[in-house]
Chains A and B, each alone.
Chain A
Amino acid sequence: DTGVSQNPRHKITKRGQNVTFRCDPISEHNRLYWYRQTLGQGPEFLTYFQNEAQLEKSRLLSDRFSAERPKGSFSTLEIQRTEQGDSAMYLCASSLASPSGGSEKLFFGSGTQLSVL
């Protein structure tokens, strides 16, 4: 168990540029989540995958955001035409779905800190 890995750890970009983040979950985990955390706030849910299927997207995820999880393995989160309001930490988490659902344990990565200048 090597944990959830996120790259890059930091990303600085100029407004209007596109950025892509990568998340490598724990290998046997079938669920993968993306959260966004701004300064002074708790993480907010963005989207969720069960295997390769994206099952839910938050209203926070505008059309400029897209997430993929090809083959149910790693996931990417792309932000197009970045805006200063996109500056935040983007957290990835993974879990192994259990029959009881909500009791499953989420494992988080260390996040990617995005700064849009």
Chain B
Amino acid sequence: AQTVTQSQPEMSVQEAETVTLSCTYDTSESDYYLFWYKQPPSRQMILVIRQEAYKQQNATENRFSVNFQKAAKSFSLKISDSQLGDAAMYFCAYRSSGGSNYKLTFGKGTLLTVNP
């Protein structure tokens, strides 16, 4: 079974600065998808960014980018120019591309605080 580990329960960053959230995962599969979700106090999970494992190029969405290291099974999220609205729980998630590709396996999350 796949597992996702987020080793940082909490992180903080100054507004306009850059922060990196860590995520590692364990899988025996060669093809899969990785995601970062944001969960603000409103509780609704919002997709931030996704990465296909077969793509070597790191995904980027505006101020959000990932550092995907397939051999190391590492998938970190970098938030540049942090804004107050970025404060939330961030979850790393894994999804198989094979037969069980219907479900996401989440890490425990990292609570990000943005200081003005």
A residues at B contact (CB < 8 Å): 31, 33, 35, 40-45, 48, 50, 55-56, 89, 91, 93, 100-103, 105-106, 108-111, 113
Beta-carbon nearest neighbor of B100 in chain A: A56
Smallest CB separation, A24 vs chain B (Å): 14
Q: At the interface with chain A, which of B13-21, B39-47, B66-74, B75-83?
A: B39-47
Q: How far is the CA of A28 from the CA of B104 in the complex (A)?
A: 21
Q: Does B101 contact A (CB under 8 A)?
A: yes
Smallest CB separation, B103 vs chain A (Å): 4
Are A43 and B104 within 8 A (Cβ)? yes
Q: How far is the CA of A93 from the CA of B32 in the complex (A)?
A: 20
Are B45 and A91 within 8 A (Cβ)? yes
Shortest Cβ-Cβ A-B pairs, 7 listed: A42-B106, A108-B45, A102-B101, A45-B103, A101-B101, A102-B33, A102-B97
Smallest CB separation, B99 vs chain A (Å): 9
Which residues of chain B come closer than 8 Å to A33, judged between CB atoms?
102-103
For chain B, give the interface size range. Answer: 20 to 34
Which residues of chain A come closer than 8 Å to B101, judged between CB atoms?
101-102
Contact of B91 among A43, A48, A93 (CB under 8 A): A43
B residues at A contact (CB < 8 Å): 4, 32-33, 42-47, 50, 52, 91, 93, 95-97, 100-109
Contact of A102 among B47, B96, B109 (CB under 8 A): B96
Smallest CB separation, B45 vs chain A (Å): 4
Beta-carbon nearest neighbor of A48 in chain B: B102
Are A42 and B102 within 8 A (Cβ)? no
Asked if A41 meets B108 with Cβ closer than 8 Å, knowing A31-B102, A56-B103, A102-B97, the reply is: yes
Which residues of chain A come closer than 8 Å to B47, judged between CB atoms?
105-106
Beta-carbon nearest neighbor of B9 in chain A: A40
Are B102 and A43 within 8 A (Cβ)? no
Are A93 and B45 within 8 A (Cβ)? yes
Smallest CB separation, A84 vs chain B (Å): 21
Contact of B44 among A35, A56, A110 (CB under 8 A): A110
Which residues of chain B come closer than 8 Å to A44, judged between CB atoms?
106
Which residues of chain B come closer than 8 Å to A108, judged between CB atoms?
44-46
